[in-house]
Structure 1
Amino acid sequence: MSPDDMRVHAAETLDGLGGFAEPWMREAFLKVPRHAFVPDTVWVWRDDAYRPLRAADDPGAWAALVHDPLASVVTQVDDGAAGTEGTLPTSSISAPNAVFTMLAAADVRPGMRVLEIGTGTGYNAALLCERAGAANVTSVEVDAGLAEVAARRLAEAGYHPRVVAADGEDGWPPEAPYDRVLCTASLQRVPFAWVEQTRPGGLVVTPWKTTLQPHGMVRLRVADDGASASGHFDQPMSFMDLRGQRRPDSPLGQVYSAASWEESRESRTVLDPSFLDTDFHARFALGLRLPGVHWSDDGWLATTDSWAYVRDGHVRQWGPRDLFGELERAYEWWREAGSPELYDFGLTVTADGQTAWLGSPGTVIPSSG
């Protein structure tokens, strides 16, 4: 099957899933040659590590992965330092269904000025060129090597947006103001520079997460005075981390020891924390209440100075924080609030920081710790 045929087949799959919110998206998907933006070597998780999959070695598997409408493709691991295996995915070409979910949220229209944070392979920038026009698209990539390759692939495919090698957290002031700022990497703090560089009424759209819940996306509209941006959380998305805001690994290994186990406090609970693995909306809500708290599905909560372990109603804790008590109180708050979903929550970003809220910006969510 040719790349064009594989793209048509993928488009039909996305049709069945309602993956194209507007006709232009399907047209752009069929026009932009996705495979032309993917390196010959990609990375797949196998035997507890990322290992190379080379088009020259297995062209069928490479092509099937590249054109899978529901799969992202890891194109770099360990910031490009990996040899025959890697541990941390650091760049990718996102799954088409995720790409078009974000583009639908961004509501990009012809002639709009767009700033993309995270060029990656250049594929998303090509789609933006199809919609907004290449002269209106600026794409910033923190990895200079990736930026150079993406610019070349874009040009070879007939697209000529501005591709800049720089730290995307600073935006790109020379082309501001923008109508849309679209980030293709996940973060925990929305840089106010993006708000400053977006015109009043414009949108900032980015994947957003907490340490407890790594899936989320927020759609912020800039206020008329340009001093803030607010909006609700949207479809849950999982993207690679913005390089300057990588989600830290659980600190459990640093705070737990045999001695701390012997010193730990014991108690009982009727709350089964397995809901954190089964109820996405509860986990998102509790992540807002418990910043910096990590959960693992084997029963551990951890922060940089405390840990808690629960099994069969028995709790052991160590450190200055009552982590499981905080979890119980946050869960009770969520239930008393009517078990709100992800979409009921929102975020406001100002020069002083960001604030999460429930329902409207006036109902600020208190945090523990």
Structure 2
Amino acid sequence: MTAKLDARARAADLLDGSGAFAEPWMRSAFLAVARHRFVADTVWIEEPAGYHPFTRSADPARWLSLVYDPREALVTQVDDGLDPSCAPGRMPTSSISALNAVFTMLAESDLHPGHQVLEIGSGTGYNAALLAERAGPGRVTTVEIDPAVCEQARAALAATGYEQVSVICADGELGYSPHSPYDRVLSTAAVLAIPYPWIEQTRPGGLIVTPWRTAFCNHGLARLTVHDDGTASGHFAGAMTFMALRGQRPRTAISELYSAERWEHARSSSLAPADLVARLDDPHAAFAIGLRLPGVSHWAQEGHWWCSNDSWAHADDEGTVRQWGPRDLATETSTALEAWRADGCPTLFDYGLTVTKHGSTMWLGEPGHPIP
């Protein structure tokens, strides 16, 4: 027990030193909730060949260090429930979020005692316990789509004294109307589009805080205020990367579009500008490009790849581009980058989002300046 308390105290000091505790209640809540009691004995560690299971019994000290690492999330499920004996896993599908990310979201939520809170994505249940520490007993509803993950969260919350948190096994995109209206809706999964039920179930003046992404760029944090007219709007509040909501996982068509024959017949050119790929390391540039290239994915793997629903492109380390399909994705990326520069290289904090029941609009600065 001493080792666990020491690990929690050290993590608290590190978080405090980095300014993660924006308000005193956050440090108190962190010290009150035993994070290690929400993490299963088996977690998953990323290695070159994929995700491999790691058990607490194999190295209790390392397991505890992973649980209380302030900067890194800890994967608790891969491939929607792969049996550890079938490792390695390919894709992380549930985790306990990094502590600095947890408290960034809590700070943006402006949570107060008595607030009615809906959490999308229960995960381990740890975040719901922190929410309950602030909002109070019977004020938190958390929704989890995976039955096994849901049951584990419910058991962990009950075992740690948070049995008054309502744990619902359901699709979080639909919210949970029986306990609405909510003062705060927080999602621990990233969305490509804000589900409108979240807005419908939030009081006017209430907040929705959720990780948000494009197919191109996987980081962003939306903070939206719900209005009397049934819309919600607000600026982006940070650059955070979370797993995607299951019903909104980005899917690339590369496996259907790519073939060795198409590679041989692909158009070849030089990357323009030559440092285009390097510029994508700027998170603000990548965010802005993603807004202007809806549905276009980008990833680094033996060079850099782009893919839309009907085209792909690849740039190697020497700046040679090969492209197949009707679109010129490398040039489109360059054009989007130049548009961002023409706007004065705004940060992602300068962008915002308005959501109605008919869809959403991205804007720069103010809602009256939509992104073309």
TM-score range, shorter chain: over 0.9
Task: Decide whether the 8 Å contact of 1:128 with 1:134 is kept in 2.
Answer: no
* Shift, 1:300, TM fit: 2.5
Task: Decide whether the 8 Å contact of 2:79 with 2:92 is kept in 1.
Answer: yes
Give the Cα–Cα distance (whole angstroms) in 2 for the partners of residues 79 and 260 of structure 1.
33
Alignment of 1:235-314 (within 5 A): 235-248=238-251, 250-271=252-273, 272-297=275-300, 298-311=303-316, 312-314=318-320
Task: From the superposition, tell whether residues 257 and 357 of structure 1 become closer, same or farther in structure 2 (CA, over 3 Å).
Answer: same
Task: From the superposition, tell whether residues 47 and 332 of structure 1 become closer, same or farther in structure 2 (CA, over 3 Å).
Answer: closer
Give the Cα–Cα distance (whole angstroms) in 1 for the partners of residues 74 and 334 of structure 2.
38
Letter in 2 for 1:350: T
Give the Cα–Cα distance (whole angstroms) in 1 for the partners of residues 82 and 69 of structure 2.
27
Pick the aligned partner of 2:180 from 154, 176, 191.
176
Q: Which moved more, 1:14-23 or 1:76-85?
A: 76-85
Structure 2 SS opposite 1:301: strand
Question: Which residue of 2 is the match for residue 22 of structure 1?
Answer: 23
Does residue 103 (structure 1) correspond to residue 103 (structure 2)? The answer is: no
Does residue 323 (structure 1) correspond to residue 329 (structure 2)? The answer is: yes
Does residue 365 (structure 1) correspond to residue 371 (structure 2)? The answer is: yes
Give the Cα–Cα distance (whole angstroms) in 1 for the partners of residues 93 and 210 of structure 2.
17
Aligned-pair identity in percent equals 55
Letter in 1 for 2:173: E
Does residue 187 (structure 1) correspond to residue 187 (structure 2)? The answer is: no
Question: Which residue of 1 is the match for residue 206 of structure 2?
Answer: 202
Letter in 1 for 2:145: V
- The superposition leaves residues 228-286 of structure 1 with CA deviations (integer Å, 9 ceiling, x where unpaired) of 100111111111111111122x4334322233234333444531222344211000000
Give the Cα–Cα distance (whole angstroms) in 2 for the partners of residues 49 and 268 of structure 1.
33
Question: Which residue of 1 is the match for residue 225 of structure 2?
Answer: 221
Pick the aligned partner of 2:165 from 161, 172, 175.
161
Task: Decide whether the 8 Å contact of 1:43 with 1:77 is kept in 2.
Answer: yes
Task: Decide whether the 8 Å contact of 2:272 with 2:334 is kept in 1.
Answer: no
Does residue 355 (structure 1) correspond to residue 361 (structure 2)? The answer is: yes
Task: Decide whether the 8 Å contact of 2:272 with 2:331 is kept in 1.
Answer: no
- Normalised to the residue count of structure 2, the TM-score between the two structures is 0.94
- The superposition leaves residues 295-328 of structure 1 with CA deviations (integer Å, 9 ceiling, x where unpaired) of 2331322212112233545443221112122112
Does residue 112 (structure 1) correspond to residue 109 (structure 2)? The answer is: no
Letter in 2 for 1:288: L
* Shift, 1:362, TM fit: 1.5
Residues paired across the two proteins, number: 364
Task: Decide whether the 8 Å contact of 1:143 with 1:165 is kept in 2.
Answer: yes
Structure 1 SS opposite 2:237: coil
Structure 2 SS opposite 1:300: strand
Question: Which residue of 2 is the match for residue 335 of structure 1?
Answer: 341
Structure 1 SS opposite 2:241: coil
Q: Which moved more, 1:4-13 or 1:326-335?
A: 326-335
Letter in 2 for 1:362: G
- The superposition leaves residues 163-193 of structure 1 with CA deviations (integer Å, 9 ceiling, x where unpaired) of 1111110000001100000000111111000
Give the Cα–Cα distance (whole angstroms) in 2 for the partners of residues 265 and 72 of structure 1.
41
Q: Gapped runs of 5+ residues in structure 1?
A: none
* Shift, 1:143, TM fit: 1.2
- Normalised to the residue count of structure 1, the TM-score between the two structures is 0.95
- The superposition leaves residues 114-143 of structure 1 with CA deviations (integer Å, 9 ceiling, x where unpaired) of 000011111000000100012111111111
Question: Which residue of 2 is the match for residue 3 of structure 1?
Answer: 4
* Shift, 1:340, TM fit: 0.8
Give the Cα–Cα distance (whole angstroms) in 2 for the partners of residues 269 and 63 of structure 1.
46
Q: Which moved more, 1:259-268 or 1:210-219?
A: 259-268
Give the Cα–Cα distance (whole angstroms) in 1 for the partners of residues 319 and 151 of structure 2.
55
Runs of 4+ residues deviating >6 angstroms: none
Give the Cα–Cα distance (whole angstroms) in 2 for the partners of residues 228 and 301 of structure 1.
33
Cα RMSD (Å): 1.5
Letter in 2 for 1:342: L
Pick the aligned partner of 1:140 from 138, 143, 151.
143
- The superposition leaves residues 70-96 of structure 1 with CA deviations (integer Å, 9 ceiling, x where unpaired) of 121111111113333111111111111
